[in-house]
Amino acid sequence: MAKEHRPAPQGAPAGHRLAESSSVYLRGAAEQAISWRPWGDDPFTEAKRSRRPILLDIGAAWCHWCHVMDEGTYSDPEVARLIEQHFIAVKVDRDEHPEVDRRYQRQVSALTGEGGWPLTAFLTPEGEVFLGGTYFPPQDGHGRPGFRRVLQEVARLWRGEPEQVRQNAEAVRAALGRMARSPAAAATPGEEALPASVRADLAQRYDPVNGGFGSAPKFPHPTAISFLLLDGFRTGEERSADRARTTLLKMAEGGMYDHLGGGFHRYSVDEGWHIPHFEKMGVDNAALLEAYVEGARRFGGETRFLEVIRETVGWVRGVLGDPAGGFGSSQDADNAPGDDGSYFTWSRAELKALLEPEELRLITRYYGVGSEGRMPHDPDRNVLFHLLPLSEAAEGTGRSEEEALARLHRAKEKLRAARAQRPTPLVDRALYASLNGAFLRGLARGGQFLGDPSLVADARRAADRFLRDGFRRGEGVAHRLSAEGPSGWGLLDDQAEFALGLIDLGTVTAEPRYLESAEAILEVVRREFPGDSGVLRDVAPALYDGPRVAPIDQPAYPLEDTPHLAANAATLLAYARLAAVTGSAGWRTSAEELGRVLTARVGGAGLFAAGTALGAGLLQMPATRVVVEGSGPEADRLWQAAVRLWHPNLAIFRGLPPPPFSLPEEFARASGATGTPRALVCFGSRCLAPITEPAELARAVASPPS
């Protein structure tokens, strides 16, 4: 619930109510001359009392255009005067309140056809949208009406045309009603055909030159990559695997990847991955980390994938890592008002001042300085991306490729040192369960694959902190941990993502406590979240601890990947993974039932149904389990081969895992019979003869018995 705020001290800025907020985004507006209120019952009570409409601003610390609107529009004295005179102003952090953002994005989109951040909405005192949009400059410009004019017109409409206000709000309600009554088109594919439908849509959208799906702006779709890897394995369709590999390589070569600091920016404004939107989101990097681990497994430890994994982990640890365990949510794009990525970009003059002539030549050729990475608003500044292979970039220098590589490393160290002296973009260190659950998967799987126990230890510390401070049996996991304690109970995305992360962490560590906690969370999901026709709601009414403003009680069903894994699809994957490692018929039944419902609702969504198709594909494959027994060099070689295996539905153990991990009886009988190092492999309930050769193990898992 929103906390009580003491009266403002004399002389405090109008936005003083935000000064004590746990949100860094809200605190950033505390000095504005606008009487911002945080989300809660208070602004709606005041709006009803004063008979004024509500101005709702939804944004985030990482959002470039949110900063532009704060620094330009909301800092404009005339804009502030109009807001103070005519409106009750409410500011919301979309990361802190995703359930609020989801509902108002739907309402504004239903009315205007646009959405995104900042989201600007005008509400009745009952919380219903009657006008809205996204970014507005203070005065007419950028092809958009000025906010001064917008505020004057909305105030006039509110006073003089209440019937028009009522009709607009009714139009939004009607549009949302139609959307709720209209699941997927009548000709949606059945459950068996969903993967083929998604494959066909990905093929149609696939960019054969640059990888990825669609054109500019181009977002990474890590769930679609995971689906393509699974599809290639299941069907033998080599093009699926090739498209996944090409997309991973092209993203890693492009400017969307930070070649000095590691990690990925939000998305690319062009189809070639050259110019990014510079914010770095934890949610993107967690999903992409998992995708690159899968890619490294599938494609035999491709060197570039290994580099991306290690460098991304380095950024996650160094920038988002919390000393007490867990990971913050984002790094801003900008380091000052009016900035646009200057921390991450380079001018020729800067490079020339830092580098020796041969280093400058190499860096210029290798990273395409002066080519497609030039910033549109400032062509002298360059985003670094891989334009040429190192061998070609080194041509004409009289140096071997090995010497060029050493020179490249020295040059990069100089650039890193220089960048470290620049003002650093703000980091939002808020700890969210859904994001940390996603990091559990990438870190646990990555640590197992790389043979790096420190990654698994990082995942353990994050999991243990949330289980200690933000988990209650019968209620699940809280959305956020802060100094004030856990908050945000009853959100589906947190339950699904965190449970899925616990399942992977538990499987990698063979620690039952993580599996048992995941099962307790998913029991809450089965009991509290089902809504229309078995689809899961984003909010559990009995658990939700936020203000009961009217739109919150309107059910919302997160069905499509956006491009992040949809909460319903994440739940499907969690059910399926839990069933696979425990052998539970009950969890498999839950997965099958949810899969059928989701397929009927998202069957025609193509790319945006990749998460559901991934879950459906897993259910059509037998659970594959590998146990490596014995000790000594031969057992170690078998283990190294095992952790580099790739199979979409695979669990690997060093020795027999304890309950609730489940193995076929045949498996258990064979285990421990001799002291000989060997690997035991089962597909579903069918087990192979013990394997003693690493190469044989790889062949067995790559070609399971039919």
CB 260 within 8 A of CB 412: yes
Per-residue pLDDT at 395 exceeds 70 = yes
Q: Which of 16-30, 97-111, 166-180 has the lowest mean pLDDT?
A: 166-180
Of 112, 148, 116, the closest CA to residue 135 belongs to 116
pLDDT at 140 over 90: no
Distance CA 330, CA 357 (A): 36
DSSP symbol at 320 = I
Distance CA 394, CA 401 (A): 7
Q: Is 441 a residue whose pLDDT tops 90?
A: yes
Q: What is the mean pLDDT of residues 35-51?
A: 95
- Rounded to 5°, the CA angle 50-54-55 comes to 140
Which helix (H) or strand (E) segment holds residue 698: the answer is helix 694-702
Section 379-389 average pLDDT: 96
Say what angle helices 585-602 and 512-528 make with each other, to 10 degrees: 50
pLDDT per residue as tens digits for the range 424-440 = 999 999 999 999 999 99
Q: Which alpha helices (H) appear in 188-257, and where do they start and end?
A: 194-205, 222-235, 238-253
The kind and range of the H/E element at 24 are helix 24-27
Is the distance from CB of 680 to CB of 626 less than 8 angstroms? yes
Decide if pLDDT at 184 tops 70.
Answer: no
Using pLDDT thresholds of 50, 70 and 90, give the confidence band for residue 401: confident
Q: Which of 37-46, 380-389, 396-405, 486-495 has the lowest mean pLDDT?
A: 396-405
Both tokens of 486, joined, read 């856990």
Residue 339: which residues within 8 A CB-CB, separation 6 or more? none
188: Cβ–Cβ under 8 A, 6 or more apart, which residues? Answer: 599, 600, 602, 603, 604
pLDDT at residue 9, as a whole number: 60
Cα dihedral 80→81→86→91 (10° resolution): 20
* DSSP codes of every residue in 375-425: ETTEEEEE-----S-HHHHTTTTT--HHHHHHHHHHHHHHHHHHHHTSPPP
- pLDDT tens by residue, 320-336: 999 999 999 999 998 88
